[in-house]
C-alpha cells in the first residue's frame, strides 16, 4: 500500500524530526532514534566533523548546539526515491540552518532512525557563482578604462601576497592543496597555495616511472572538472601530473611553485599567522588568518635507522625518492617493506633487469585489483554505478553515511567474497612464504587505510612475480644491520646489495607542523589520521572520525587537509565552507573539538 511505501515512511520520520528540532524539543528528537544509533554531522550542526553515537551523545550535542544552529525545512529529496532492503529504509533529504543549506541521508529501522548524515552544501548569501549565477565573462557596453579578464587575473596574481594579503595560505600544492584551493576560489576566499616543486603535478611526475593510480577513475575526479570519459581507468603518474597542472591554470589558482615555506607563527592577539616563504630568491612574509597544511596524508617520510647505514657503500633511498629502475639493470637491490610502494618498485626493478629482494617484516593485506573493482567499489565507483544513476556526489555521500564505528561490518562480507574468489591466488602467495592478513577484524583494505594508512597492496601484477620467484622474498625477519655491501637480517641472512630502498611509509602529518611552526604546536594538535580503533598502528581512545583532518584543531587557525583523491575532493567541500564562514564573520561554535591523545 502507498501509505507503507519507503518514501512515505521517510517523509513521516523527517516531518517528526524537523518539527522536534524546530520546536527545540530535544527529548522528542532523541526519541526518534533507536538505541543503537549514529548521527554523522559534516559541519552543519557541530561546525566540526563529528559522529554522535547513541542517545546521550545526540542529546548533549543538541543541548549545546540546537539554539544557535536553528535547523528547519527537512524535506525528502523528490529526485531520489527511498528504498527498502533487509528491513532498512534508505532516504535522502535537504534541510536548512540559520546560515546554511544542507543535504543528508537517513536509514530507518523499525520506524526509528538508525543512521543520520547531515552535510553542509552551501552558506546562505555566499553561494558559489554557478548555474544561473555564473559570471558573465564579457562586459558589454563601453568603458575606455576597461580591463580584460586576463588583465584582471594578472593584476590579482601580481598583488596577492604583496599589496594584499590572502585569507588562507595552503602549504602543499599536491592534489589536496589544489582541490581545496579550487573550492576556496569559487567561494571568493583569497588563497595562496605554496609548493616547493617547479610545476603543479611534480609530486607525481618525480616519483618512480611505473607509478599509477591504483584507484579507478570514477573514484578520483577533482571538484568541478571530472576526468573525460576516455580517461584511463588507472591513470599513470605523468597524466595525473599534467591534469593537476592544467587544473591549476583553468581554475585560476594562485599557485606559488618553486616556493619554500621556511616558518609559520601564530599571534594569539591578532589572530593572524606570519608565514615566511622564499620565492624567486627573496623572502616574502604572508599574513593569513588561516593556515592549512596539505602536505600529504602520509606526512613525513619514515626512514628507519639501522646500524651500518653510514658505512654502506651503495645507494640508499626512501621510496618517495626512488627514481625508477633505469640505473639498476644487473644490480642487486633490497627493498625493505611490503606494501603498495614496495610492490610497485620491486616489479619495476625486475622489469628493468635488476636482481631484487623484498624484505617483508610484518604481514600485509593483499587484494587483487580486478576483485576490488568488481566487489569492493563496483556499486559506487564504476561504469556500472554511473549507469544506475550513482553519480560521484551520490557515491561520496553514501560512503560518508556509514559511521566509522560500524563500517567494518559492511566491509567484512565484501572481503570474504574476495578471499573466496581468489583462494588459489592467496594459497600460492602463502606457499611462496608471503605473510598475509585481512586486517585486525577481517575488514580489509578500506578499514586499514582509514585506521592506519598502511599495511596493504592492491595487486596489479607484482604478486605473480613473488609467487614464481622472480621477485625474491625474505619474510618474517627484520633488518639487523648493514655492511659495506649487504643488508644483514636478524636471522643471520645476508642480502648483498648495491641499492637499498626503504619502502617504510610515513609519519603523522603533525610532523610537518613541528618543522614549520613548533614542536609545542605539533603536540598541542596531536596525531593526525586514524580513528582510535585500538587496532595495530591506530591506538585508542575511539575518535569516530579521522583525527584532525578537515576540521578545527586545538591550534586556532591551523587545519590539515589530505588523503587520496576521493577524500581531497569530498572533504575539501566542508573544509572550504568552514573557512569561508570564518572569513565572513559567521558565528561558528565548534562542538566536540578533538582532544590530543597521541603526539604523532
* pLDDT number for residue 139: 78
Cell, residue 454: 598502511
* pLDDT number for residue 296: 74
Q: Which of 500, 482, 481 is nearest to 315 (CA)?
A: 500
Q: In what order do the strands lie in the sheet with 355-360?
A: 315-318, 499-502, 332-336, 355-360, 472-475
Q: How distant is the alpha carbon of residue 577 from its chain centre?
A: 17
Q: Which of 365, 352, 329 is nearest to 438 (CA)?
A: 365
Contact 460, 421 (CB under 8 A): no
Cβ of 405: how many Cβ atoms within 10 Å? 17
Q: Is the dihedral of CA 233, 236, 238, 241 positive or negative?
A: positive
CATH number of 315-502: 3.50.50.60
CATH number of 6-123: 3.10.450.50
Q: Do the two domains 6-123 and 315-502 of this chain adopt the same fold?
A: no
Whether the ω angle into residue 359 lies within 30 degrees of 0, i.e. cis, is no
pLDDT in tens, 529-556: 999 999 999 999 999 999 999 999 999 9
Q: What is the CA radius of gyration of the chain?
A: 25
Residue 297: pLDDT band by 50, 70, 90 thresholds?
low
* pLDDT number for residue 310: 96
* pLDDT number for residue 587: 97
Q: Which residues contact 592 (CB under 8 A, 6 or more apart)?
A: 46, 48, 50, 61
* pLDDT number for residue 270: 96
Helix (H) or strand (E) holding 101: strand 100-109
pLDDT beyond 70 at 236: yes
Q: Which residues contact 526 (CB under 8 A, 6 or more apart)?
A: 510, 547, 548, 554, 594, 595, 596, 597, 598, 599, 600
Can you give the pTM of this predicted structure?
Answer: 0.95
User: What's the rounded mean pLDDT across residues 196-217?
Assistant: 88
* pLDDT number for residue 506: 83
Class of domain 152-299+507-584: alpha beta
Contact 578, 44 (CB under 8 A): no
pLDDT in tens, 309-360: 999 999 999 998 898 899 999 999 999 999 999 999 999 999 999 999 999 9
Parallel, antiparallel, or unpaired: how do β-strands 494-496 and 486-489 relate? antiparallel
Residue 1: pLDDT band by 50, 70, 90 thresholds?
very low
Percent of all residues in the chain with a pLDDT value above 90, rounded to a whole number: 88
Q: What is the distance between the alpha carbons of residues 432 and 469, in angstroms, rounded to a whole number?
A: 8
Instruction: Sketch the domain layout of the chain as residue ranges.
Output: 6-123, 152-299+507-584, 315-502
Contact 600, 526 (CB under 8 A): yes
Q: What are phi and psi of 582, to 5 degrees?
A: -70, -35
Q: How distant is the alpha carbon of residue 329 from its chain centre?
A: 36
Amino acid at each position: 500500500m502507498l501509505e507503507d511505501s519507503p518514501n512515505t515512511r521517510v517523509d513521516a520520520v523527517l516531518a517528526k524530526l524537523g518539527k522536534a528540532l524546530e520546536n527545540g524539543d530535544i527529548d522528542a528528537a532523541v526519541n526518534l532514534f533507536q538505541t543503537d544509533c549514529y548521527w554523522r554531522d559534516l559541519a552543519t550542526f557541530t561546525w566540526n566533523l563529528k559522529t554522535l553515537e547513541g542517545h546521550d551523545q545526540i542529546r548533549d550535542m543538541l543541548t549545546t548546539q540546537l539554539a544557535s544552529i536553528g535547523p528547519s525545512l527537512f524535506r525528502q529529496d523528490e529526485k531520489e526515491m527511498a528504498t527498502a532492503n533487509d528491513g532498512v529504509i534508505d532516504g535522502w533529504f535537504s534541510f536548512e540552518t540559520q546560515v546554511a543549506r544542507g543535504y543528508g541521508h537517513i536509514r530507518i529501522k523499525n520506524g526509528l532512525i538508525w543512521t543520520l548524515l547531515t552535510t553542509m552544501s552551501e552558506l546562505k548569501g555566499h553561494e558559489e557563482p554557478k548555474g544561473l549565477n555564473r559570471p558573465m565573462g564579457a562586459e558589454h557596453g563601453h568603458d575606455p578604462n576597461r580591463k580584460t579578464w586576463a588583465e584582471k587575473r594578472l593584476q590579482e596574481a601580481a598583488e596577492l601576497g604583496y599589496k594584499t594579503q590572502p585569507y588562507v595560505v595552503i602549504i602543499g600544492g599536491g592534489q589536496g592543496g589544489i582541490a581545496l584551493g579550487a573550492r576556496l576560489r569559487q567561494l571568493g576566499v583569497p588563497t595562496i597555495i605554496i609548493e616547493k616543486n617547479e610545476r603543479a603535478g611534480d609530486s607525481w611526475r618525480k616519483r618512480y616511472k611505473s607509478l599509477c593510480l591504483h584507484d579507478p577513475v570514477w573514484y578520483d575526479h577533482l571538484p568541478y572538472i571530472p576526468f573525460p570519459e576516455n580517461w584511463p581507468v588507472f591513470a599513470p603518474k605523468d597524466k595525473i601530473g599534467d591534469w593537476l597542472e592544467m587544473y591549476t591554470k583553468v581554475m585560476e589558482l594562485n599557485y606559488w611553485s618553486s616556493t619554500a615555506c621556511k616558518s609559520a607563527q601564530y599571534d594569539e592577539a591578532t589572530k593572524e599567522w606570519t608565514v615566511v616563504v622564499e620565492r624567486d630568491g627573496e623572502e616574502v612574509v604572508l599574513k593569513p588568518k588561516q593556515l592549512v597544511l596539505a602536505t600529504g596524508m602520509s606526512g613525513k617520510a619514515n626512514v628507519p635507522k639501522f646500524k651500518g647505514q653510514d658505512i654502506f657503500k651503495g645507494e640508499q633511498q626512501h621510496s618517495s625518492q626512488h627514481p625508477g629502475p633505469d640505473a639498476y639493470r644487473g644490480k642487486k637491490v633490497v627493498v625493505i617493506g611490503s606494501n603498495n610502494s614496495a610492490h610497485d618498485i620491486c616489479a619495476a626493478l625486475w622489469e628493468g633487469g635488476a636482481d631484487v629482494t623484498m624484505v617483508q617484516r610484518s604481514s600485509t593485506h593483499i587484494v587483487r585489483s580486478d576483485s576490488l573493482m568488481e566487489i569492493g567499489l563496483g556499486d559506487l565507483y564504476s561504469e556500472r554505478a554511473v549507469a544506475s544513476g550513482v553519480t560521484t556526489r551520490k557515491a561520496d555521500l553514501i560512503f560518508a553515511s556509514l559511521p566509522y564505528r560500524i563500517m567494518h561490518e559492511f566491509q567484512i562480507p565484501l572481503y570474504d567474497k574476495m578471499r573466496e574468489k581468489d583462494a588459489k591466488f592467496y594459497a600460492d602467495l602463502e606457499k611462496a612464504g608471503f605473510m598475509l592478513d585481512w586486517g585486525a577484524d577481517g575488514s580489509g583494505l578500506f578499514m586499514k587505510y582509514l585506521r592506519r594508512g598502511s599495511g596493504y597492496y592492491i595487486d596489479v601484477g607484482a604478486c605473480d612475480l613473488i609467487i614464481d620467484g622472480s621477485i625474491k622474498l625474505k619474510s618474517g625477519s627484520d633488518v639487523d644491520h648493514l655492511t659495506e655491501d649487504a643488508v644483514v637480517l636478524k636471522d643471520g641472512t645476508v642480502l648483498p646489495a648495491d641499492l637499498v630502498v626503504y619502502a617504510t611509509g610515513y609519519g603523522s602529518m603533525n610532523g610537518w607542523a613541528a618543522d614549520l611552526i613548533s614542536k609545542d604546536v605539533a603536540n598541542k594538535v596531536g596525531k593526525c589520521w586514524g580513528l582510535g580503533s585500538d587496532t595495530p598502528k591506530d591506538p585508542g581512545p575511539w575518535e569516530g572520525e579521522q583525527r584532525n583532518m578537515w576540521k578545527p584543531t586545538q591550534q586556532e587557525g591551523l587545519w590539515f587537509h589530505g588523503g587520496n583523491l576521493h577524500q581531497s575532493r569530498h572533504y575539501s567541500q566542508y573544509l572550504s565552507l568552514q573557512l569561508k564562514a570564518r572569513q565572513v564573520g559567521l558565528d561558528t561554535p565548534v562542538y566536540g573539538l578533538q582532544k590530543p591523545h597521541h603526539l604523532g
